[in-house]
A and B are shown apart, each in its own frame.
Chain A
Amino acid sequence: MMKIYSSSQKFGHKHLTATVHNRAARIRVGKGDRPVTYEQAHHPHHIAHRKGWLSQHTSNLKGEDRAAERTIEDVFIRRFVFGTFHGCLANEIVIKRRGNVLSVCAVMLQKLPPQKFYFLIGYTESLLSHFYKCPVKLEIQTLQDKAVYKYL
């Protein structure tokens, strides 16, 4: 990104090189050997344009409350699922809330035999339902390998 204007009180222009220094949720361009998924390749300012939301609930809308509680639940669920299905997650988890039901959608790699997968799914669902006192559903899809979008 090139420097366009410099900050100058004479013309009243604002400093427009802010995008050079942002490092949030970005994988920097490298040699071209690192595979990257669609989610990782797009920067946060592409949310709602090229990306969707990973966690869908109504508490961040205007006039709604309990956003902090939902966020904490989301963080816990992400870490929990990452730990139970260690090394099997292909992409980020999508968490959806409809009414009382918490729906966790994940894409997994086929590293474990199906029986172990079923056991872990049942274990996660029952444990999380007991933690959060609401029905928790796990929707899993499996792939052979990670879905690579490009190489950076």
Chain B
Amino acid sequence: MASLMSLRRELFSLARILSGVSHLVRFLLFFLMQITVTEEPDMLFQKVVILVKGHDRAVLDSYEFFATMAAKELGITIGKVFEPPKAIERLTLLKSIHIFKKHRVQYEMRTHYRCIELYNITGCTAQVYLEYIQRNLPEGVAMEVTKTAMEKIPDHILEPLWKEIPTDDKPSQ
């Protein structure tokens, strides 16, 4: 994995800077067995949206504190951290095994959400941060990650077509 190699070199320097955070440093140094350099350009993400869902709001609160603290220590710009409204799925079932249609039991399943948006993050940092976050996901909590990557505009779009060749008779496309 070429990006992983350049990631390791970058993070070794990061690890030296962040010597104050011992847990992160131990985690980062654990992966830095070899240091290699590559020429491949890194992926750039305009936005990385992490949506965590769970049944327990307190668990999501503590996980949000942990994720935002980790992002701050790594120097990632945190955008919005907000709580989308909870989703409740309700079922109405018959209370008795036989007859008694008028007597029912209702159950519900609540899904609480928490959304963390990170802006302008490189591929290497995103990979490390997400791996750290996902290794420490509590049980009963699910995560969805949406990444918005930025790509260089291809050269043939930059200049309008009519400026290039005025004399040639080209069929219209």
Contacts and interface: CB of A to CB of B under 8 A. Distances in A.
B55 A61 contact: yes
Among B55, B109, B111, B137, the most chain A Cβ lie within 10 Å of the Cβ of B55
A24 B105 CA distance: 11
Interface range for B:
10 to 19
A64 B142 contact: yes
Given A53-B140, A61-B109, A97-B139, 12 more contacts: A21-B103, A24-B105, A52-B56, A53-B56, A56-B140, A58-B141, A60-B55, A61-B53, A61-B54, A64-B142, A96-B140, A98-B138
A29 interface: no
B87 interface: yes
Interface range for A:
20 to 34
Interface of A: 18, 21-22, 24, 48, 52-53, 56-58, 60-64, 96-99, 103
B84 to A, nearest CB: 11
A48 B55 contact: yes
A52 B110 CA distance: 14
Contacts of A97: 139-140
Q: Is the interface of B mostly helix, strand, loop or mixed?
A: strand
Contacts of A58: 53-54, 140-142
B87 A62 contact: yes
List 7 A-B pairs, minimum CB-CB distance, nearest first: A56-B140, A96-B139, A58-B142, A62-B111, A56-B139, A98-B139, A62-B87
Nearest to B142: A58
Contacts of B54: 58, 61
B89 interface: yes
Contacts of A21: 103
Contacts of A62: 53, 87, 89, 109, 111
Nearest to B113: A62
Among A57, A61, A98, A103, the most chain B Cβ lie within 10 Å of the Cβ of A61
Given A61-B53, A61-B55, A98 B109 contact: no
Contacts of B105: 22, 24
Nearest to A67: B109
A8 to B, nearest CB: 15
Contacts of B140: 53, 56-58, 96-97
Contacts of B111: 61-62
